[in-house]
Structure 1
Amino acid sequence: MTPRVHTLGNGVRVVCDPLPGWQTVALSVVAGRGARFEDEHRSGWSHLLEHMVFKGAGGRSARDIVEVIEAEGGHINAATGYERTSFQVRALKDGLDLGSAVIADLVQRPAMDDGDLAREKQVVGQEIAEAADTPDDLVFELAQAAAFEGQPLGRPILGTPRSIGRATPEALNAWRAALYGPETLVVSAAGAVDEDALLALAERDFGAGVGSALPEAATAVFRGGVRTRAKRLEQANVVLLLPAVGVRDPDYFALRLLAEMLGGGMASRLFQEAREKRGLAYAIDAYSETYADTGVLGVFAGCDAADAAELAQVTAGEIQALTAPVGEAELARAKAQLKGAMFMGRESALARAEQAAGQVLLFGRTLDPEAVATEVDAVTPGQIAALTARILGARKAAVAVLGPRPALAAADRFQAAFAG
């Protein structure tokens, strides 16, 4: 069945995806706003807010919030991204009523206590410190900062100790009202869910919400540059980002397939050439990260510092080689991998609920998986080559290298290849 989308009077959208025979239900309440909508003064507030609403809401304490869900066999969680914030409950089939009520309290009626905020700032500060101490977290932050310097996409979702230190209960509550405005909320349920019951719960719990959401984010600009940091580590961590397309671009699926062929699995070009043939790295992967209006093609590698420069050269060569049309067998394998991941992901009720909410936020509707598979199959070798040329034609790259000093030469190799 195709999920059905409804709109409440205040603009909240509701998606119902019933799965006959399931004994569980997943509910995602997703706001189409996140860290990308922060100015520098409020950097990290969206993530801090996500923490704070769990400290108490709707008359329940922090402990009550989790205990009442877990007592019914359920689980509750939340996540903050650049473009959205998601609250999720997984429960047995009769747990939708309670799950909806609890999430509604989190989103609309948090306590925002002064003492809780002071303690949570300490917790988030520890989370920021942990990320700084984790090389394969820090190197991605450095690359993101180089790619989108001076913009929200270039700042860490966690913010900084200084920026989160500015938050007060009153200011954070005002930020909540703007971040979770009803016209950006999607209530999405999948699994053992009845459509009429879901609509009644959504109207009860979210239909009276009012307020104006933050306006659309400014268009992001890929700037590029180099971020290197010498650090005593056993291994060098290297990230390369190139400017690509956003999720609404006609070349979106071509980008996904390009990343898959470049470094998406053990049969990919980078794995075979850099690891299997040359032994330059244990871990090397390519991926695409897409936002509403832009995206990146990325490569991550962990290698010996002495091999980093050669690895950069090999990686650059493999990307440049994709400006020539790929073989049909290689493209067919990438298509099979992408479609396999897509359909396997839909075997989780929570993944279906989250995916449907994201599609509604981006396109105003849910997408038929078979139609998406058809779009994947329609991508041609020429389209892949043209997209690669388009990416390289920008002559921009964001490079981050973290590790022993000899590894830092990899940054110059990448810059010479892509932005020289």
Structure 2
Amino acid sequence: MIENVRTTRLPSGLVVATDRLDTVESVTVNVWVNAGARHEPAEINGISHFLEHMAFKGTHTRSARQIAEEIEAVGGSLNAYTSRENTAYYAKVLKADQGLALELLADILRNSTFDEEELAREREVVVQEILWAIDTPDDIVFDYFQETAFPNQALGRPVLGTVPVVRSFTQDTVRDYMRNTYSADRMIISACGPVDHDAFVARVAEQFGDFPVTAAPSIEPPAFHSGDWREERDIEQVHMVMGFEGVSYTDPDYYTAAVLSTLHGGGMSSRLFQEIREKRGLVYSIYSYVSSHLDSGIYAVYAGTGQNEVSELIPVLCEETVRVADTLEDGEVERAKAQLKASVLMGLESPSSRAETLGRQIQIYGHPVSSKEMVEKVEAVTRESVAACARRIFSTKPVTAFVGPLSRVESHDSILARLGHTAGA
């Protein structure tokens, strides 16, 4: 049992988890729903994100304005976000108002009306959000990359959806999706702050105890594919993502991959930052990252560079990637491990971060994971295990995506060759 963390499963299957922290004055309450872009059929791609928007647009007892005014009248905040595997709703309030926070979250998830006028307005708001993303090359390049890595799969489709599909959404679309995917046994309610677990569970049981249970939607197994996406644009910079098949949250190499990414391109002391930005001045921004899912993952590098510099950037990036496994030094591995451990421990200082981490851990692993256990797993990473992980990840054929002036971007086959791969499937 983790100190100050308690969990209770209601008869419906809904999990309630609290992380008691008496040294702060605020409480963060999260509602995690195991429903995201990955659970959507192609014909309603974007509905998870759209439903998240509509949940705040009025209930049978409150208008959208009343929802906003009621939470802000106590100095609190209410928000949500959607990813490929879940949707999260959260409220942050002072400790005296935690009951209100939970009641508002219950109201928007149980009693939303999906008013036709509100729905019409919000369709256009989301359309503007999609168009903003398309107009932002260092944003949309990641969607292109994901689509190329997982072609014709839900995991590769954009979280926001597309303009024609979003404009097709009706009240029935939203209601049917919510009815089919928002199920008590796929929900986690987590809270952190000065929270009494038993009292909080009683409130949750009162507000969510009879939340419906439905059959779990099926998800297709992921199939990563090498490929290349290019979009010519008349802008100043080339935005690129180069990535490989990565690791899932439950993969034994999960923490090792995080150490690899940190020393490869995760900070100012990383290899990519030092060689490509500091030594050669080829970029303003470059970083590597690990993006994991429940059963798959991505390891990727983003860079933004000039039209002239891209021809030098790509060979250096490939060289620095290929040589990692054979040139690792103990000092850089230990430095990367220290960065990760600090990130874990600094997260303990924020009730919002703790509540989010608690909900995410239960969704992924089925139980909370202590910071001590996470630190121990980082500590267990060695130079040899990082080298083996690098060889594993970089042995997969990469995906590349480019947006910008592309006249000096070499071919995908040439990039494959630089990374030690042959062209073709």
Name 2:132's counterpart in structure 1: 130
8 Å Cα contact 1:183/1:213 also seen in 2: no
Unaligned runs of 5+ in 2: none
Query: Residue 410 of structure 2: SS of its match in structure 1?
Result: helix
Partner residue, 2:403:
402
Q: Distance in 2 between matches of 1:371 and 1:80?
A: 28
Q: Is the CA contact 1:14–1:186 (under 8 Å) kept in the aligned structure 2? A: yes
User: Cα distance, 1:327 vs. partner?
Assistant: 1.4
CA distance in 2, matches of 1:22, 1:100: 19
Partner of 1:162: 164
Contact 1:281 1:301 (8 Å CA) reproduced:
yes
- In the TM superposition, residue 215 of structure 1 has moved relative to its aligned partner by 3.0
Report the 3-state secondary structure (helix = DSSP H, G, I; strand = E; otherwise coil) of the residue aligned with 1:256.
helix
Aligned pairs for 1:308-323 within 5 A: 308-323=310-325
Cα gap change, 1:70/1:50 in structure 2, threshold over 3 Å: closer, same or farther?
same
1:378 to 2:380 alignment: yes
Q: Distance in 2 between matches of 1:330 and 1:213?
A: 48
Deviations 1:278-312 (A, max 9, x none): 11111111111111111111111111111113211
Counterpart amino acid of residue 189 in structure 2: V
Equivalences, count: 419
The equivalent of 1:21 in structure 2 is: 23
Q: Which moved more, 1:159-168 or 1:203-212?
A: 159-168
C-alpha displacement of 1:163: 1.4
Q: Find the partner of 1:172 among 156, 174, 177.
A: 174
Using the TM superposition, name which of 319-328 and 173-182 deviates more.
319-328
Could you tell me which of 3, 6, 26 is aligned with 2:5?
A: 3
Matching residue's letter, 2:407:
P
Contact kept? 2:148, 2:156, Cα under 8 Å: yes
In 2, distance between residues paired with 1:268 and 1:71? 45
Match of residue 192 from structure 2: 190
| Corresponding position of 1:338 | 340
- Post-superposition Cα deviations, 1:137-180, rounded to whole Å, max 9, x if no partner, equal 11111111111111112111000112122221122111112222
Q: Counterpart of 2:146?
A: 144
Residue 28 of structure 1: how far off its partner (Å): 0.3
Verify the 8 A CA contact 2:106 2:207 in the aligned structure 1: yes
Counterpart check, 1:392 vs 2:382: no
Of 178-187 and 385-394, the range deviating more from structure 2? 385-394
State the alpha-carbon separation in 2 of the partners of residues 341 and 58 from structure 1: 42
Q: Is the 8 A contact 2:35 2:85 kept in 1?
A: yes
Deviations 1:54-104 (A, max 9, x none): 111241100011110110110000000001100000000111111111111
Of the three residues 251, 254, 257, the one matched with 1:252 is 254
Residues 228 and 411 of structure 1 are in contact (CA less than 8 Å); yes or no, is this contact kept in structure 2? no
Q: SS where residue 324 of structure 1 aligns? A: helix
Q: Distance in 2 between matches of 1:170 and 1:126?
A: 22
Question: What are the superposed Cα offsets for residues 344-395 of structure 1, whole Å, 9 maximum, x if unpaired?
Answer: 122111111111001101111000101110110001111111111111222x
Aligned residue for 1:334, secondary structure, equals helix
CA distance in 1, matches of 2:127, 2:18: 38
Where does residue 204 of structure 2 map in the other structure? Answer: 202
- Match for residue 417 of structure 1? 418
Query: Whole-Å Cα distance in 1 between the matches of residues 414 and 402 of structure 2?
Result: 11
Deviation at 1:411, TM superposition (A): 4.5
Q: 5+ residue gaps in structure 1? A: none
Q: SS where residue 391 of structure 1 aligns?
A: helix
Whole-angstrom CA distance in 2 between matches of 1:413 and 1:346: 45
SS in 2 for 1:350: helix
1:40 to 36, 39, 42: 42
- Given that residues 181 and 217 in structure 2 are in contact (C-alpha distance below 8 angstroms), is that contact kept between their aligned partners in structure 1? no
Alignment correspondent of 2:236? 234
Q: In the aligned structure 1, how far is the partner of 2:246 from the partner of 2:148?
A: 15
State the one-letter code of the partner of 1:352.
Answer: R
Paired residue type of 1:179: T
CA distance in 1, matches of 2:415, 2:186: 40
| Distance in 2, Cα, partners of 1:179 & 1:110 | 15
Greater than 6 Å deviation, 4+ residue runs = none
Deviations 1:305-325 (A, max 9, x none): 111132111111111112226
Task: Give the match's secondary structure for 2:355.
Answer: helix
Please, what TM-score do these two structures have when normalized by structure 2?
Answer: 0.96
After superposition, residues 302-313 of structure 1 pair within 5 angstroms as 302-313=304-315
Counterpart contact for 1:241–1:298, Cα < 8 Å: yes
How far apart, CA to CA, are the structure 1 residues paired with 2:249 and 2:16?
Answer: 22
SS for the counterpart of 1:196 is helix
Tell me, in whole angstroms, the C-alpha distance in 1 between the residues paired with 2:154 and 2:112.
26
